[in-house]
Amino acid sequence: MNTTIKRNAIKITASVLAAGAIMSCQNKSSKNESIIGGDVASKVYVAPGKYDEFYLFTSGGFSGQVGIYGLPSGRLFKVIPVFSQNPENGYGYNEETKSLLQTSKGFIPWGDAHHPVLSKTDGDADGRWLFINENNTPRIARIDLKTFTTREIIEIPNSAGNHPSPYCTENTEYLVAGTRFSVPVKNKDVPIASYKETFNGAISLIKVDKETGKLSLAVQILCPPFDYDKNRAGKGVSKDWTFFTCYNSEEANTMLEINASQKDKDFILAVNWKKAEEYLAAGKATELNTPYYHNVYDEKTQTATSEIINKEMILDPKDCPGMLYLMPCPKSPHGVDVSPTGEYIAAGGKLAAMIPVYGYEKMMKAIAGKKFDGEVSGIPILKYEEVIAGEVKNPGLGPLHTEFDDKGYAYTSMFLSSEITKWKLGTWEVVDHIPTYYSIGHLCIPGGDSKHPFGKYVIALNKITKDRYLPTGPELTQSAQLIDISGDKMKLLLDFPTIGEPHYAQSIKADILMKNSQKIYRLEDNHHPYATKNEKDTKVERKGNEVHIYMTCIRSHFAPDNIEGVKVGDIVYFHVTNLEQDWDVPHGFIIKGANTAELLIMPGETCTLKWEPKEVDVVPFYCTDFCSALHQEMQGYIRVSPKGSNTPLTWKLGDLK
Amino acid sequence: MKTKLPLLAITGGMIFFACSSDKNTEQQTANVPTTEESTQGGGSASIQDSESKPTVLKIAINSPSHKTLVAAVQAADLVDVLATAGPFTVFAPTDEAFKKLPAGTVEGLLKPEKRGDLQNILQYHVAAPMYSEAMLKQYDGKTIGMANGGQVKIAVKDGKITVNGANIVAAVEGANGIVYVVDAVLLPPSK
C-alpha cells in the first residue's frame, strides 16, 4: 500500500499561471456599491489650506512609531518616533532622548508598537496624552499631545508579549496591560515542559498621575498560564472592571496551532480593578524584585533620565476573592470591546463562527448568584449561559475587533473574510457587510471605544494591499480605508497608505487638540543644563578629553561658527540651542562624518550631538533644515588637531567671542 | 494499492471565473471571457498574480475534478475568502465525492435559500491555520476547529490520514494554504 501523499500531484502548468486565472466577483451588489460611490470625492476632499475634521493616530506596528493623519483626507502630517530611533530628527540618537530607549536588557533601538490609546475623562477622549504599547520588550509609552512627542516609556516586568495593552480605564486612573506569553516569573531557569506549574500570565495595572500623566506600576496579578490577547476597560456601568481575552486555556507550550485550540471555549477574564486596589491597600500583595526601567523626559531640562526600579507588588488570585472571574468564550478569542454604555462586552473569536456578546448586568447577577462552572487556579468560571447576552450569528469569518457608533450599532472586523460586519446591539442581527482590501485587523471609529462615538466613519486597518496601489516590488504599503457609516449602508470613500503596519488607530475631533498644540518652546522655560540663551554666552569648555560646545543657532548662523583647539581622541558635545521664538522654524545640525543622526532642534529647544573626531582635519558643520533665505550660508568649521597638540581652545562668530 | 490522484489538464489561455449572481440558481462552471476587463480593485479573488504560488482557490479552480466544489464555493460567496491571507487548510471533496451524496443534495444546496446551509458545509471543510501533512500525522485522535465553528477528527492509521473518516488522497500546497483532496464530503453534525 502506498501511503505517501503525493505533493503537488495536481500539476498546474506554468503557462496557465502566466496567462492568469481571473475570477471576477463584480456582480456582488455590496461590492459594486462599495466601489462606485456617487459623490465620494467631495466627501474626502479637504480643500488646500483647509483643515481635516479629525486627527487619526495610527500605530506604526513594526516601525515602532505613531503616524498622525487627517480625516477624511487621509493626509499624513507627522510620524512621532516612540519605540524606534528616528534619524530624521535625532530621536533616540541625541543625548536628550536616548535614555527613553533604555531597558533592563540594555538600549533597544526598535520596538513593535501596537495599540494607541487616547487618555480619557469620564469615558471620552480628553486630548491630553496618547499611550501606546510595545509588544516585544514589554513597554508602554506616553506621548504628550501638546508637543506630539514621546515623554515617557515604562518597562513592564514579569511579562512578555505586551499585547493586551495599554487600554485605559474610564478616567485614565490606570493603563491595563497583560502578557501574551506567559513566562516563569519567580524561578526563571525551569524546563519549558513545566509550563503549567511554573509559568504565569501577569496582569498589570499602571497608575497614571492625574496632573502630569506620569506612569507607575501599581500592582501585578499573577494569573494562570494562558495567552492574554486583548483588553478593554469597562466604562459607565462596568467602569470598575477590565476585560481580557485569553486563548490557550489548554496551557500548551508547543505547537499552539493545534494544541491551543482543542477546547471548545477559552475565556474572557474579568478583572475588578477597584478590588485589586483594595487588596493592595489591605496589604495582600507580596513583593517581587525584577528590575525594570522607567524613562521620563523632563520638560524643564529637556532631557530624559532613566530610573531602575526593583520592586513590584504582586497579588495572587487565590488571596483575592471577588477580583477575577472567567467567562467561557468560543474558540481562541482575540478582541474584546465594550459598548458605549459599558453594558455589553463583545468578543472576537477568531476561529469562531459567531460573536459572543456578554452582558455586564448578567455577569453581576451570575457572580451574586454564584452561577459557577468550576474554577481555574481559584478563579471561578461563570456559566456561559448565565453571562451571555446574545450571539451574533454568521457574521463572517474570523471576527477580530469591534467598535461602536452612536446609533446602537457595532462594527466588527473579519480577518479571514476580509470585511466589516455591522450588527445591532440588543437584537444581534447582522445588518450590513462591506469588503475591505485586504485582510483587515483592527478598525477604528472616531470615539468608537468611548462613551460618545462619532458615528461618521469607520477606518479599516488592513494588513495586505496586493493590487490596491501601484506596485513597489515585494514590499508593499499597508493601508487604511475610510468608510462612511452615516447611512444604513456602509460606503467606501478612500484608501490611503500608512507607515509600517497600521495596527490599531484612535481618532479624535481636531478642535480638541488644535487649540492645545504648542507652537514653540519658550526660551525662558528652557532649563537644559547646557542651554545657551544668548549668543554672547556661547562658549567652549574642556573637561579632560571632553569638549562641551555651548552653541546657538538662529536664521542664518551658528554661534560660534569657527572652533579650534579640539584634538583627535576628544569627545565633543555640541549643545545646540535654537534661539528662534517663531513657529515652524526648526534648525538642523550635523557635522561631516558624524556617526550618529542629525539634530533637529525646535524653536527654544536645546539638543546635543556627540562627536568623536578620529582624524586631523578642518570639518564643516551646517544646518540641514531649510530655514531661511540664507540657509545655505548657515555653516561653520571645527579644526581638529593631532592628539597632544597645543592648539589653544578658541571659538568665534565674526567679532563675537 | 496506489492512490489514484486527480489529474489536472489545463488548456492554455485565460480562465475566467464568474460568480453567480444571487438570482442565478444555475450551477456555473469556468467560462472564457468574451471581453477583457480590468479586475483591479475587485477583491482578493481577482488579484492578477501569475508569479506567486497559486492560492487554494486557484488550485481548486484549476482542478478538473473539483467542478462541483468550485460551483458551490461560488454559490456560497466564498470565492474571495479563499484568496485572502489565511492561511487555510482546505479539505476538497472531488466531484466523485459529491456524487456519493443522496441524489438532489447538491442541487438543493445550490439554491439561494439554502445558501446558509451551503456556507455551513463548505466552511466545515476549511480551517484557518495551515496544517501540514507532518502536523496532521502527529495528531491522531485530535480535533481541529473548522471555519464554521465545528470540529473534524483526524485519524492516522498506517501513516494514512483520514478526516472524519474521509481519505486524504492528495495534497497540494498553495500560496495561502494547503488543499487536501478528500474522497468524501464532510457533513457537519446537525446543530
C-alpha cell at A389: 447576552
Q: What global pTM score does this model have? A: 0.91
The span from the CA of A164 to the CA of A203, in Å, is: 9
- The interface predicted TM-score (ipTM) is 0.83
Place of cell 514621546: A150
State the average pLDDT over residues A1-28.
Answer: 40
pLDDT band at residue B191 using 50, 70 and 90 as cut-offs: low
Which one of B55, B61, B66, B84 would you mutate to disrupt binding with A, by most A Cβ within 10 Å of its Cβ?
B84
Q: Tell me, what DSSP letter sits at residue B35?
A: S
pLDDT band at residue A344 using 50, 70 and 90 as cut-offs: very high
C-alpha cell at A594: 558624524
| Sheet architecture: strand order including B177-182 | B126-127, B88-93, B177-182, B166-174, B160-163, B151-157, B143-145
Q: Please return the burial class of B36, using the count of CB atoms within 10 Å of its CB with bins 0-12, 13-18 and 19+.
A: exposed
| Contacts with B, A 571-610, CB within 8 Å | none
Q: What are phi and psi of A311, to 5 degrees?
A: -145, 125
Q: What is the pLDDT of residue A255?
A: 82
The span from the CA of B187 to the CA of A526, in Å, is: 72
Facing B14 at nearest CB: one of A12, A22, A437: A22
pLDDT tens, position by position, A175-203:
999 999 999 998 889 999 999 999 999 99
Q: Give me the torsion for CA of A621, A627, A630, A636, rounded to 10°.
A: -10
Which residue of chain A has the CA closest to B115? A394
Facing B116 at nearest CB: one of A8, A23, A394: A394
User: Is A464 an 8 Å CB contact of chain B?
Assistant: yes
CB A66 within 8 A of CB A130: yes
State the average pLDDT over residues A62-86.
Answer: 98
Facing A22 at nearest CB: one of B17, B148, B172: B17
Residue type, A103: T
Which residue of chain A has the CA closest to B14? A19
Q: What crossing angle do the helices spanning B115-123 and B67-75 adopt, rounded to 10°?
A: 120
- In whole angstroms, what separates CA A223 from the centre of its chain? 24
Q: What is the pLDDT of residue B41?
A: 63
Facing B142 at nearest CB: one of A6, A258, A352: A258
Q: What is the mean pLDDT of chain A?
A: 93
Handedness of CA A177, A183, A186, A189 (dihedral sign): negative
| Contacts with A, B 128-187, CB within 8 Å | 128-129, 131, 133, 135, 138-139, 142-145, 147-149, 151, 158-161, 168-173, 180-181
The CB-side HSE value for A203 (13 A sphere, CA atoms) comes to: 32
Place of cell 494588513: A463
User: Is B47 an 8 Å CB contact of chain A?
Assistant: yes
Shortest distance between the Cα of B111 and any Cα of chain A, in A, equals 17
Residue type, A211: E
Q: How many Å from the N-terminal Cα to the C-terminal Cα in chain B?
A: 37
The span from the CA of B30 to the CA of A195, in Å, is: 52
The span from the CA of A201 to the CA of A182, in Å, is: 4
- In whole angstroms, what separates CA A304 from the centre of its chain? 20
Least confident of A254-258, A335-339, A353-357: A254-258
Handedness of CA A184, A187, A189, A191 (dihedral sign): negative
Given a cut of 50, whether residue A636 has pLDDT beyond it is yes
Facing A23 at nearest CB: one of B79, B148, B181: B79
CB A577 within 8 A of CB A605: yes
Coil, helix or strand at residue A54: strand
